[in-house]
Amino acid sequence: MGRIDEAIVDVLRRNGRITYKKLASLVHLSESPCQQRVRKLERLGVIRGYGAFIDEHKLSPGLSLVVLVALAESKGCNTQKAFEAFVSACPQVIECHLVSGALDYCLRMRCRDMEHFRSVTECWLENTELHIEKLAAYPQLAVIKPSSTHLGIE
């Protein structure tokens, strides 16, 4: 990816609704080549889509939690695949990250309240196909730094 493509991505990361005319002017291209570069970045999968930043608490009050999960060690790759498919289909799971270390997954969840969270996770723990060994939940108290449009790589 060249300097101009990086500039295009940087602008679109901050404002996905910008017009091609304005984008082209910011990256010092004419409109048509700028549009072609954006389409190429989309085809290559560099730009996967466009969205909006949503304030979850204004949209629906509820409980946000970080949930750490450890699977039983000896169960292997199929256990991971089963767990990943299960949480991918779970509407309360907003994000799921496979991590290294003592735990296997870090989830971000939204539930109506603690009772709702408890009923969801009790079902998970009772599901013997998931092989969950440990589950630790940490309710979110405040957002100090929200999701950023910046990649964090300098």
DSSP state of 52: -
Q: Is pLDDT at 17 greater than 70 in this prediction?
A: yes
- What separation in angstroms does the CA of 109 have from each of 11, 32, 47? 30, 42, 26
Reported as a single tens digit per residue, the pLDDT across 91-134 is: 999 999 999 999 999 999 999 999 999 999 999 999 999 999 99
Domain spanning 56-139, CATH architecture: 2-Layer Sandwich (3.30)
CATH of 3-43, one of 3.40.50.300, 3.40.50.1820, 1.10.3720.10, 1.10.10.10: 1.10.10.10
Taking the C-alpha atoms of residue 52 and residue 112, their distance in angstroms, rounded to an integer, is: 22
3-class secondary-structure state, position 93: strand
What letter represents residue 145's amino acid?
K
Task: Note the pLDDT of residue 144.
Answer: 86
In our burial notation (b when 16+ CB lie closer than 10 A, e otherwise), range 95-123 reads ebeeeeeeebbebbbbbeeeeebeebbee
As given in the structure block, the two tokens for residue 24 are 């082209």
Of 30, 21, 24, the closest CA to residue 7 belongs to 24
- CATH 3.30.70.920 in the chain, residue ranges: 56-139
**pLDDT tens column, 71-92:** 997 667 888 999 999 999 999 9
